[in-house]
Amino acid sequence: NYLTLPVLFLMLSNHYPLAFGTEFNWVIASLVFIIGVLIRHYFNSVHARKGNPTWTWMAALVLFIVIIWLSTAPKVLTGEPKESASAQVYVASAHFPAVRDTVLGRCSMCHAAEPVYEGIYHAPKGVMLDTDADIANHAREIYLQAGRSHAMPPANVSQITDTERALLVAWFEGAGK
């Protein structure tokens, strides 16, 4: 049935912050539903011998690309200021000293110019979190990956606590208020 793909996606999406950690999560869920309908239409048409509507695959691919684009929450759509301007808000936050200590203690073992974690030779995705400016410039990613989800650190290798995660959330959501 055509609901299988969207239902599986919605069940698993809480494990993937790029799917739910954006204000466009409802659009992403809707597009996944439409992709499921397109795929089901293709298979129904082929099995009923009513043709081979290959256009459905192209439409599904286009929708998937839109999902990828929306999952990065384009600053053009959100109206978010450039990182350098908004970074000062995060550094000025009352929570920043505690957040800096948490990030330096729990994240910079991998996300540094010279990672010290065994097997990591370069900062993953080039994200370095070993200075105040780096932490402020990556505030949204820290919030999504370590605060709102448990995606970082992987398998909680640095044993970040729920209290520290709550601090990251409070810092990001409270900045500028």
76-99 pLDDT, tens digit per residue, is 555 554 455 568 888 888 899 999
Considering the domain architecture, whether residues 88 and 51 belong to the same structural domain is answered as no
How many distinct structural domains can be found in the chain?
Answer: 2
Enumerate residue ranges in the chain where pLDDT < 50: 81-82
Residues ≥6 apart with Cβ < 8 Å to 73:
22, 23, 24, 80
Which pLDDT belongs to residue 67? 87
Residue 20: the pLDDT is 64
Same domain, 49 and 127: no
Same domain, 44 and 125: no
Question: 140 and 101 share a domain?
Answer: yes
pTM, two decimals, is 0.58
- Tell me which residue range forms the domain holding 38: 4-78
Verify that 66 and 97 share a domain, yes or no: no
**Are 101 and 170 part of one and the same domain?**
yes
User: Which of 17, 43, 78 is the last residue in one of the domains?
Assistant: 78
Same domain (yes/no): 74, 117: no
Largest CA distance in the chain: 66
Of 13, 12, 39, 29, the C-alpha closest to 66 is 29
Residue 108, classified by CB atoms within 10 Å of its CB into exposed (0-12), middle (13-18) or buried (19+), is buried
Are residues 103 and 56 located together in one domain of the fold? no
Instruction: State the pLDDT at residue 27.
Output: 87
**Rg from Cα positions in the chain:** 20
C-alpha triplet 76, 129, 77: angle, nearest 5°: 10
Q: Which two tokens stand for residue 140?
A: 């949204």
Helix (H, G, I), strand (E, B) or coil at 48: coil
Tens digit of each residue's pLDDT (9 = 90 or more) over 100-124: 999 999 998 899 988 888 888 888 8
Q: Are residues 69 and 9 in the same domain?
A: yes
Give the pLDDT confidence score for residue 100 in this predicted structure: 94
Residue 66 is predicted with a pLDDT of 92
Query: What is the reported pLDDT for 42?
Result: 92
Chain-centroid distance, C-alpha 28: 13
Q: Do 145 and 114 share a structural domain?
A: yes
